């Protein structure tokens, strides 16, 4: 399959995007049908224990000697998350905390009303990539920062500010994800005119790859190339061997089906595009691969009001078989993004009882042993990722007044949970039971939402207009 490539150009050459999203791509995009553009559906009848197939063989770890390569004995280091820094929930920062929830530390210092979000660890734990939404323009850009909070800087964007071409209209870049060898970043990009009749849905949205310094840009997917305004592509996640990526495709009001969402898989060369989860499940946000490559973790969201309960956390084999629930169904709890620990023996996830703010929890890969990690629901900690960065010997209690008190480990939220990963077993489990200490602050601030990103429809991500509460 053909795809466009490009390198960072000087300001005199205008935007790199002309090579990545210009008229030439319209011809290239026509070839997408030869690369698996018509993904197959997965019937809901498969979501049962009988549908399980043999567990895939674990993938080989990254090659030794490569910067950030996976180790055979993974170290569970710090967890990174997004957290609000003000009571009105208009400003958010990137924070880190220990595996037990202690030592919460604010890593980024965003301007007032800016939103730092969707963090991801470099493989060696030395840096964090994230996106920052500008409070004036509503556009998101990609940033990196060291684990200690030093050297925060923006990765130069695809379109320069002086460009007025169609390729750069309403241009937005977000959800960066490091490759396992640390040599590439996958990210989502949206651009083009807005559909004023349908919630200002952006014209085009697809996945891109580039080097961490912003060079060697390649467009990876062409889902919206021949179907403008059909939806938003976002939240990529790499397989442990670096050969595939999962991502979320969220359809618009004019998409097929309308206003839905699913997880897709694509090879790193752009071939093999296929749908991984059925539309009926409404799977979204960033999925997570298990370190051995045998499972993919994902979260589902109901088609109700923002932050509505009723979703859950699931696993699926990379071939789309053996979908099973780790949390109880039906649920009275809101669940957000989940991620595996580096050693694969734990999962960190977001959970919020109805009417309350969100906190971080952990559980075993089979859904048992649910433990509450934080007790700061007013911050709405969400979108966690678990890395290898070392936990400081003496974690600070509070690094920034705006970040609020540090989170401490709490008692387990549940004494029992599903004994297996199947949906039928999880229906009677209590893994997602409402915590005994319900966090406060989330309900009273839920009506204060950030400015919607320009060029990003309400279908771009999840919850509170721009997907800020997962």
Q: Are 76 and 342 in contact (CB under 8 A)?
A: yes
Residue 245 parent element (H or E): strand 244-251
Distance CA 33, CA 465 (A): 32
pLDDT tens for the 470 residues of the chain, in order: 433 333 344 333 334 433 333 333 332 333 333 333 333 333 333 333 333 334 455 555 443 333 333 444 688 999 999 999 999 999 999 999 999 999 999 999 999 999 999 999 999 999 999 999 999 989 999 999 999 999 999 998 888 766 667 788 999 999 999 999 999 999 999 999 999 998 899 999 999 999 999 999 999 999 999 999 999 999 999 999 999 999 999 999 999 999 999 999 999 999 999 999 999 999 999 999 999 999 999 999 998 766 788 899 999 999 999 999 999 988 889 999 999 999 999 999 999 987 789 999 999 999 999 999 999 989 999 999 999 999 987 544 444 433 333 333 333 333 333 333 333 333 333 333 333 333 333 333 333 333 333 344 443 444 333 455 67
String of DSSP letters for 95-147: EEE-TTS---EE---PPTT-EEEEEEE-TTSSEEEEEEE-TTT--EEEEEEET
Q: Are 133 and 115 in contact (CB under 8 A)?
A: yes
Name, in order, each residue with C-beta under 8 angstroms of 180's C-beta and a sequence gap of 6 or more.
62, 68, 69, 70, 123, 238, 239, 240, 241, 242
Phi-psi region of 273 (alpha: psi -120 to 50; beta: other; left: phi over 0): beta
Domain 5-40+79-445 has CATH 2.120.10.30: yes
Work out the end-to-end distance of the chain between its first and last CA atoms, rounded to an integer number of angstroms.
34
- Tell which residue, 358, 468, 407, has the closest CA to residue 79: 407
Q: Are 354 and 334 in contact (CB under 8 A)?
A: yes
Q: Are 360 and 446 in contact (CB under 8 A)?
A: no
Distance CA 279, CA 277 (A): 7
Tell me how far CA of residue 31 lies from CA of 1, 2, 24, 203, 204, in angstroms.
7, 8, 12, 20, 17
Task: Name the strands in the sheet holding 296-300, side by side, starting at the edge strand that comes first in the sequence.
Answer: 283-289, 296-300, 312-316, 324-325
The residues spanned by each domain of the chain are: 5-40+79-445
Tell me how far CA of residue 115 lies from CA of 48, 153, 154, 377, 463, in angstroms.
39, 15, 14, 18, 14
């Amino acid at each position: 399959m053909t795809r466009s490539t490009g390198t960072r150009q000087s300001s005199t050459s205008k935007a790199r995007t002309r090579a990545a999203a210009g008229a030439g791509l319209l011809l290239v995009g026509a070839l997408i049908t030869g690369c698996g553009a018509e993904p197959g559906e997965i019937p809901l009848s498969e979501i049962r224990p009988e549908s399980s197939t043999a567990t895939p063989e674990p993938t080989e770890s990254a090659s030794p000697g490569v910067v950030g390569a996976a180790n055979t004995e993974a170290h569970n280091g710090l967890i990174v998350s997004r957290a609000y820094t003000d009571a009105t929930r208009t400003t958010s920062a990137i924070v880190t905390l220990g595996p037990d929830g202690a030592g919460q530390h604010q890593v980024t210092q965003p301007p007032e009303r800016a939103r730092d979000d969707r963090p991801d660890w470099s493989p060696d734990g030395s840096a964090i990539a994230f996106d920052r939404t500008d409070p004036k323009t509503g556009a998101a850009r990609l940033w990196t920062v060291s684990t200690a909070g030093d050297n925060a800087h923006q990765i130069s964007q695809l379109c320069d500010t002086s460009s007025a071409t169609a390729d750069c209209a309403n241009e937005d870049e977000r959800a960066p994800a490091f490759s396992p060898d640390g040599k590439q970043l996958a990210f989502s990009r949206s651009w083009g005119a807005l559909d004023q009749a349908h919630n200002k849905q952006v014209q085009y949205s697809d996945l891109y790859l580039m080097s961490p310094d912003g060079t060697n840009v390649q467009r990876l997917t062409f889902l919206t190339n021949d179907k403008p305004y059909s939806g938003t592509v976002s939240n990529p996640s790499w397989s442990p061997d670096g050969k595939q990526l999962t991502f979320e495709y969220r359809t618009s009001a004019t998409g097929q089906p309308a206003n839905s969402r699913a997880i897709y898989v694509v090879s790193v060369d752009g071939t093999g595009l296929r749908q991984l989860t059925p539309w009926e499940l409404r799977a979204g946000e960033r999925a997570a691969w298990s370190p051995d490559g045998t499972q993919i973790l994902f979260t589902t969201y109901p088609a109700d009001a923002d932050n509505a309960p009723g979703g859950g956390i699931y696993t699926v084999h990379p071939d789309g078989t053996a979908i099973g629930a780790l949390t109880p169904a039906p649920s009275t709890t809101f669940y957000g993004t989940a991620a595996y620990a580096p050693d694969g023996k734990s999962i960190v996830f977001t959970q919020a009882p109805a009417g309350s703010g969100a906190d971080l929890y952990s559980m075993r890969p089979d859904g048992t042993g649910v433990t509450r990690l934080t007790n700061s629901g007013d911050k709405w900690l969400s979108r966690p990722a678990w890395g290898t960065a070392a936990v400081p010997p003496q974690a600070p209690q509070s690094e920034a007044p705006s970040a609020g008190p540090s989170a401490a480990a709490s008692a387990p939220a549940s004494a029992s949970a599903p004994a297996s990963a199947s949906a039928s077993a999880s229906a009677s489990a209590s893994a997602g039971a409402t915590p005994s200490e319900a966090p406060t602050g989330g309900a009273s601030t839920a009506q204060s939402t950030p400015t919607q990103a320009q060029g990003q429809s309400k279908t771009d991500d999840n919850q509170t207009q721009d997907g800020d509460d997962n």
